[in-house]
Amino acid sequence: MIYKNTYCTFLTRLFLTTGLVVYVFFINAQISPGKLSKAHSSLEGINQCTKCHELGAKVSDQKCLSCHEPLKVRIQQKKGYHASKEVTGKSCVTCHSEHHGVNFEMVRFDKKTFNHTLTGYELKGKHKTNDCAKCHRPEHISDPKLKLNKSTFLGLNPSCISCHDDYHKKTLDKDCKKCHDYEAFKPAPFFNHDKTGFPLAGAHKTVDCKLCHKVETTNGKTFQHFANVPFKNCNACHVDPHKGKFGVDCKSCHTVESFHKIKASSTFNHSITGFELEGKHKVIDCKKCHDNRAGTTDAYKEFSSVRDISCLTCHKDSHENKFGNDCSSCHSQWNFSVKDKLNDFDHKLTGYELSGKHEAVDCRKCHKETFMTAPLPHDACKKCHEDFHKGEFKDTPYTDCASCHTTTGFDLSSFDWEQHEKSAFPLKGAHLATPCISCHKTDDQWKFRNIGNTCVSCHDNIHEGFISEKYIPANDCAACHNQDVWTSLTFDHNTTGFALEGKHLGISCRSCHFEENEKGEIIQKFIALDKNCMACHDNVHGQQFEENGITDCKRCHGFNTWDNSQFNHDNTRFKLEGAHLKVACEACHPNEISGGQTIVKYKTGKLLCIDCHQ
């Protein structure tokens, strides 16, 4: 009986468990349309649906991209296939649907027909025939997280060296496309040696690259040097057979066509041979001298055995040794004509030593005869030069130009102030610093005699018509001015009837006697200047103190300051006494406006006590 009950209990439990499993399976089948793919298997289960689905809606693209973060970033950057016109606007499930079983491939496309240009990287050349896996492999991905996803197509860098070894080991530009194409690494069809610092020319065009660009093996890998190859001088690659005797500029004699092809070059530094080329020697053909004459041991060595090379080594002496063998003392190497300047010719031997500008004059300027030894008068300047002064100094101590001028130049004069002291007009004061041209060249012609010796001979009398002749007798400026400084005056103002006192002694004459009108013209006022204070100063008292239309300021004020030092209240109609002595002036003499001007009213008319006090 006990056994029977236990068996019944077991059957009951088995039935309930089986029924529950069948029920759960039935319910789950009604909710999930199928198993998730292996990549999303971790999201299986009723309680994880909302990780992909929105409640009551389809799968959300935003939830897809929240997991596939690297792809989301690419789309936001508008990069890659998913940002192309073929994908933009489509939902993720359009291409990547789910619930088709564990082994369902969510990423599926025809790799042979896929348009790789839509990714932003067009496949060209050999890239077109390569298997996708040749490039899309973890070792080519730099992002450590993406590297873990062995099936991803993201994470590649479009630069060549992200997949290929840098054959040049960082010695050249990272942009391989500047030299190479996509067909093969060799040759480099886009490389142009003319765009480097060493364009190939002549025999260099046919030389094997390896002769200049050495190949070596480092760590089991071949490396060829292309950068930092020395090329400044030919001897960086070539042995110098001259052992430095002719410098390092091989191109001055040789061509790049062949070392044995020597050119007649104007750039060759001939001075290193011991004979520097000058004049015509610079432009004549080398073969004119290097003519392979008898006794020549090698090319361009015609003079190697000549110990002292001179003009006579090649040229005939037309003077028959009368002037020695130093032809260069009279002749240049441009032609046989006599040089403009005979540096070494001793002209003193002729009885006339050359000095100053005569040393630079062409000999033929003076020696105009066929033979330069013909007699030439030279006892006076005028024998060669015209009289610039046109006889102005005739019958004077200065008839000879040398009295005032030297051979260093006619523009400068040796006539000094000491000599001027002996003239009719000795220089004094500011005249000592005045240039000669200011007095002696008032027009196009210099004049030294009969130019006058009074002030007005050179200077305008600016006071004419403004100051009485009484003060400038015979236009003699010295009556007031001196020759040192024009502004320094010695005029006695007492002679005018207006003696200067106080502050008037220290002010400039122009302050009173010169005034600018509305047109900006300066007007002098001497004769017509009123002696009244009001002629120069404003009347701050209005008309209070006028007598016959004139206010005599001196009755109250002095000439040193504008105070009332001359004023005495006792002299008025109201003598100050008692407490009045301590009362401020303003208490009795207030300000008032008169004629638009604020003045102090002194004549108040209040002379009785009742006028001020109640």
Structure tokens at 86: 């073929």
Residue 45 — left, alpha, or beta (φ > 0 → left; ψ -120 to 50 → alpha)?
A: left
Sign of the Cα torsion 455, 457, 459, 461 reads positive
**Model confidence, pTM:** 0.40
pLDDT for 269: 79
In this structure, is residue 555 part of a structural domain?
yes
The verdict on residue 162 lying in a domain is: no
pLDDT of 79 strictly over 90 = yes
Residue 66 falls inside a structural domain: yes
For residue 204, the model assigns a pLDDT of: 93
Q: Is residue 7's pLDDT more than 60?
A: no
- In the DSSP assignment, the letter for residue 193 is G
**Cα dist from 566 to 93, 101, 552, 557, 585, whole Å:** 116, 128, 12, 5, 16
> Domain range holding 565?
551-612
Examine the domain organization and report whether 464 and 524 are in the same domain: yes
- Do 564 and 478 lie in one domain? The reply is no
Residue 16: its pLDDT value, please? 57
Residue 2 has pLDDT above 80, yes or no: no
Domain boundary among 97, 130, 163: 130
> For the residues 109-114, what does the mean pLDDT come to?
89
Residue 88 has pLDDT above 90, yes or no: yes
92 pLDDT above the threshold of 60: yes
Asked whether residue 382 is domain-assigned, the answer is no
Q: What is the pLDDT of residue 297?
A: 74
Instruction: Please indicate, yes or no, if residue 589 is contained in any of the structural domains.
Output: yes
Tell me how far apart the alpha carbons of residues 171 and 174 are, in angstroms, rounded to a whole number: 9
Tell me, yes or no, whether 261 lies in a domain: no
Predicted local confidence at residue 17, as pLDDT: 54
pLDDT bin (cut points 50, 70, 90) of residue 25 is: very low
For the segment 42-62, the average pLDDT, to the nearest whole number, is 87
Is 523 in the same domain as 558? no
Task: Tell me: do 512 and 577 sit in the same domain.
Answer: no
Across 313-340, average pLDDT: 76
Same domain? For 42 and 125 the reply is yes
Average of per-residue pLDDT across 486-510: 89
Element (H, E) at 12: helix 2-31
Residue 411 predicted with pLDDT over 70 = yes
Q: What confidence category does residue 31 fall into, taking pLDDT thresholds of 50, 70 and 90?
A: low
Check pLDDT > 80 for residue 133.
yes
522 & 565 share domain = no
**Domain co-membership, 562 together with 482:** no
Residue 519 binned pLDDT confidence (cut-offs 50, 70, 90):
very high
**Distance from CA of residue 586 to its chain's centroid?**
69
Query: In this model, does residue 340 exceed pLDDT 80?
Result: no
Residue-level pLDDT at 8: 55
Q: What is the pLDDT of residue 24?
A: 42
- Residues 333-345: what's their mean pLDDT? 71
**β-pair partners for 593:** 598
β-partners of residue 262 are 254
Average pLDDT over residues 505-532: 89
**Per-residue confidence (pLDDT) for residue 562, from 0 to 100:** 85
* 593 in the same domain as 513: no
Domain boundary among 498, 529, 560: 529
Distance, in Å, from the CA atom of 103 to the CA atom of 100, rounded to the nearest integer, reads 8
350, part of any domain: no
- Please give the DSSP secondary-structure letter assigned to residue 352: -
Q: What is the pLDDT of residue 11?
A: 60
| 393 in a structural domain | no
In this structure, are 517 and 590 located in the same domain?
A: no
In whole angstroms, what is the distance from residue 163 CA to residue 127 CA? 12
Asked whether the predicted pLDDT for residue 116 surpasses 90, the reply is yes
Residue 38 shares a structural domain with residue 86: yes
pLDDT digits (tens, 9 = 90+) for 355-383: 899 888 888 888 888 767 677 888 888 88
The number of domains in the chain is 3
Q: Quote the tokens at residue 551.
A: 């206010």
pLDDT bucket at 346, cuts 50 / 70 / 90: confident
Taking residues 309-318, what's their average pLDDT? 83
* 64 and 125 co-located in one domain: yes
Between 128 and 15, the more confident residue is 128
Between residues 459 and 8, which one has the greater pLDDT?
Answer: 459
Q: How confident is the model at residue 601 (pLDDT cuts 50, 70, 90)?
A: very high
Last-in-domain residue among 107, 130, 153:
130
What average pLDDT does the structure give for the chain?
A: 85
pLDDT score for 21:
43
Do 93 and 51 lie in a common domain? yes
Q: Is the peptide bond before 187 cis (omega within 30 degrees of 0)?
A: yes
Residue 362 phi, psi (nearest 5):
-60, 130
The percent of residues above 70 in pLDDT, for the chain, comes to 92
| Predicted local confidence at residue 445, as pLDDT | 84
The residue whose two tokens read 């002719």 is 246
Report residue 83's pLDDT band, with 50, 70 and 90 as the boundaries: very high
What pLDDT, on the 0 to 100 scale, is given for residue 343? 66
CB contact at 8 A, 168 and 178: no
Asked whether residue 23 carries a pLDDT value surpassing 50, the answer given is no
pLDDT at position 582, please?
Answer: 92
Mean pLDDT of the region 547-552: 89
Q: How far apart are CA 95 and CA 107, in angstroms?
A: 8
Instruction: Find the range with the poorest average confidence among 73-77, 224-228, 286-290, 578-582.
Output: 286-290
